[in-house]
Amino acid sequence: MLEKEFQYYLDHQSELVKEHKGKYLVIKDQKVIGTYDTQSEAYSETQKEHEVGTFLIQLCDIGTESYTQTYHSRVSFRKAYTT
C-alpha cells in the first residue's frame, strides 16, 4: 500500500540522508511531510492530521539497516483456550 512512498525514500535516500540523517521521516504522496527525532513522535503527531495507513515513517540513515516495515492493524488477538 505504501510502496510508492518507500520507493520515493529509496530513490532519494542519499540526498535525504545529507539533510535529515538520524531523523524519522514521514512520507506521504511521495514527499516528506515531516521530520521527527523519534518514531513515536512521528506517529503521534502525523496521525492527528493524516489517516493511519496513508503515510510511511522511515528512519533516515545510510544503507539498508535503516529500512523499516511497520504494519498497523485494527485486528486484535486473544488466547484460544482448549480443554
Question: Model-level pTM?
Answer: 0.77
**What spatial distance separates the first Cα and last Cα of the chain, rounded to whole Å?**
41
d(CA 60, CA 16): 7
pLDDT tier for residue 81 given thresholds of 50, 70 and 90: low
Q: Are 59 and 68 in contact (CB under 8 A)?
A: yes
Q: Mind listing the pLDDT tens digit for each residue in 38-70?
A: 999 999 999 999 999 999 999 999 988 777 555
Instruction: State the DSSP code for 29.
Output: T
Domain range list for the chain: 1-83
